[in-house]
Amino acid sequence: MRKTPRLRPIRSAAASRATNFTVQTNFVIQLADIHKIYRTGEVDVHAVRGVSLDIAPGEFVAIMGSSGSGKSTLMNMIGCLDRPTNGSYFLDGLDVSTLDRDARAKIRNDKIGFVFQGFNLLSRTTAQENVEMPMLYNHHRVSSTEQKERAAKSLELVGLADRADHKPNQLSGGQQQRVAIARALVNQPSLLLADEPTGNLDSQTSIEIMGVFQKLNDAGITIIMVTHELDVARYTKRMIILRDGKVLTDEKVADRLNAEVELKKLRQAQEAVKLA
């Protein structure tokens, strides 16, 4: 059987710089003419084509697009899991476009918190211990006492202070995602990245999780979320839609949903069904 060619990234000697681009320290993220090109066999695949955008502190942004639109590739570059073929990426005013693997790992640990669709919790450890985990890899030594205090505070922020000693199999899906969010917050990152955070959850639990994100955002945390669900994106403040690796639209969310209000409506509807 003939093997399918693997995609491999093309590395430029140095990431090109967009002309007339000025670094501004009042943005958490600045992307300037970002490109990502992979090579499969003799064919170049342009996953991201000239994306430029700025994200300010305290924004809550949804990145949407169909399969192959480039949203996951863009998220990987924003999360310093990969680097662009060409273009500039500044995080908190620092040029991370051409950093090597070790430097990107340090940036991820210091400045970025990740929330994934699959929770990725350690099954044999408690919620408290799962949340403490990122601090074990912190480049700035964190004492055992401070680890416990910061983990407890993070769990309190997501409403799970009373579940700190529970293991994942003793928690619901929504509670496990809250633990994952607390873990992402424990190193006090500049940016929280969420990749399909409600993908494994039912409708009510999804609204509850979006309520957690809204409260965190109201407290000043910058959040970028990849989602394919329009209803979920309507809880954010800004929606960026990608198509063929380019930004198709970048607009403020009109008629933004409030999770507390939507939960109240859902519970009222459930009660009405019971009484019918």
Within-domain flag for 145: yes
CA distances from 253 to 61, 152, 169, 199, 256 (A): 9, 33, 36, 21, 6
In a domain, 61, yes or no: yes
Q: pLDDT below 50 — which residues of the chain?
A: 1-2, 4, 13-17, 19
- 1 contact partners, CB below 8 Å, separation of at least 6: none
Based on the structure, what is the number of domains in the chain?
A: 1
| 188 part of a folded domain | yes
Q: What is the pLDDT of residue 200?
A: 86
Q: For position 34, which CATH number holds?
A: 3.40.50.300
pLDDT of residue 7: 57
Within a domain: residue 1? no
Backbone CA torsion sign across 51, 52, 57, 58: negative
Contact 181, 158 (CB under 8 A): yes
Query: Which two three-digit tokens encode residue 32?
Result: 């300037």
Q: Give the model's pLDDT for residue 273.
A: 85
Residue 108 belongs to a domain: yes
User: What pLDDT shows up at residue 40?
Assistant: 81
Within a domain: 3: no
pLDDT of residue 143: 85
Domain that holds residue 67: 8-13+23-275
Say if 268 falls within a structural domain: yes
- The answer to whether the pTM exceeds 0.85 is yes
Residue 18 within any structural domain of the chain: no
Look at residue 124 in the predicted model and tell me its pLDDT.
Answer: 92
Distance between CA 187 and CA 266 in Å, rounded? Answer: 34
pLDDT at 2 (0 to 100): 47
- Residue 193 has what pLDDT? 96
